Amino acid sequence: MADEPTPWRRCSACKKPIALGAVYWACNVSTCNQKRTALSFCSVSCWEVHLPGANHRESWAVEKRAPKTPDGDAAPASSGGGGVRRLVRSTVPAPAPDPAPREVLIIASRLKDYVRARVGYNTSDRVLEPLSDLLRRIVDQAIENARRDGRMTVLERDIPEA
């Protein structure tokens, strides 16, 4: 009775074992490669299974080789490091973003209360649309700042100075 080789890890999609020293695929996106996540896939098709829920803007599979010993030490690569041999781009198209709603983003009663308390003026309902457009431009810039920093969370530091 032959012993089955000890798996290094299991495929993050289909849960098949990935043997020590075997080729596996990893996602190039850093959040998929953190120590806590460390996604590993036995094939490119298994890597593509995680894409719909991962929400990556652009990603590809990176071919790697599992360590040859159970303690996790990878054998030195003859090409000089990393074991990356080739990249495969996804054939799954990224979902098109939904168009942003064109609703009023300002709470009319709060704005009117603010203007009245500040200077005693009344406020026309017609100012809500241009203020919402201005707010959209500010938020779009904040989104771009977060994207440039490689984050998918808009933080207060992303909002441009007035």
Cβ atoms 59, 88 nearer than 8 A: no
**Do the domain assignments include residue 101?**
no
The average pLDDT across 122-136 equals 93
Same domain, 85 and 18: yes
Residue 112 and residue 80 in one domain: no
Q: Are both 24 and 69 inside the same structural domain?
A: yes
Helices in the chain by DSSP H: which ranges? 44-49, 51-54, 108-119, 128-148
Domain end, chosen from 57, 89, 121, is at 89
Instruction: State which residues form the domain around 26.
Output: 7-89
Split into its structural domains, the chain has a count of 2
Does some domain include residue 72? yes
Pair (76, 134) in one structural domain: no
Q: Quick one: pLDDT band at residue 17, thresholds 50, 70, 90? A: very high
Give the mean model confidence (pLDDT) for residues 58-71. Answer: 84
- Say which residues have a Cβ less than 8 Å from residue 6's Cβ, sequence separation at least 6: 19, 20, 70
123 and 82 assigned to the same domain: no
Share of the chain above pLDDT 90, in %: 34
Torsion over CA: 27, 28, 31, 34 (sign):
positive
Give the pLDDT of residue 108: 93
Whether 12 and 85 map to the same domain: the answer is: yes
Higher pLDDT, residue 142 or 58: 142
Q: Do both 48 and 115 map to the same domain?
A: no
